[in-house]
Amino acid sequence: MVEVRLPESLSTQAQLGEIGFDALCVECHGENAAGRNGVAPPLVHRIYEPSHHGDAAFLLAAQNGVRAHHWNFGNMPPVEGVTRADVMAITAYVRELQRANGIN
Ligand code: HEC
């Protein structure tokens, strides 16, 4: 849904996060968190910048799911079997993608 510029390199934490993202989140949020039409929004988006959706919002989303409120995609269900460490790494990955796209 959005064009995502990739960072030149990812930190070790973000590399782990990419693996987690590709296992648990990519089917909805799309490759490089660019979103998928009709399914789920891009996370590389100003709405999800750290000052509006802090890292705790990512943990809550993954553990409890999200009631649709910013978009019309419907609710996000809780992600089965996700650990706190998984989400911390995934969040680091998304933050590095965001920063490479001017979202700070
Ligand atoms: C089954 C599809 C699906 C999967 C899998 C999924 N999401 Fe989502 N996610 C959504 C949808 C749809 C929304 C948008 C809800 C809305 O309208 O605000 C969303 C919203 C979010 C939000 C915003 C939360 C907020 O407070 O507004 C975050 C953060 C997020 N997802 C992270 C993740 C992460 C991390 C994963 C993988 C661990 C993941 N999602 C997996 C569908 C999904």
Distances (CA, A) of 82 to 45, 71, 103: 23, 24, 26
pLDDT tens digits for range 21-65: 999 999 999 999 999 999 999 999 999 999 999 999 999 999 999
Residue nearest to atom 10 of ligand 1 (CA): 76
Using CB atoms within 10 Å of the CB of residue 103, give its burial: 0 to 12 exposed, 13 to 18 middle, 19+ buried.
middle
Q: What is the amino acid identity at position 4?
A: V
pLDDT tens digits for range 71-102: 999 999 999 999 999 999 999 999 999 999 99
Q: Is the CB of 57 under 6 A from ligand 1?
A: yes
Q: What angle do CA 62, 66, 72 make, to 5 degrees?
A: 130
Looking at the CA of residue 27, tell me the nearest atom of ligand 1. Answer: 5
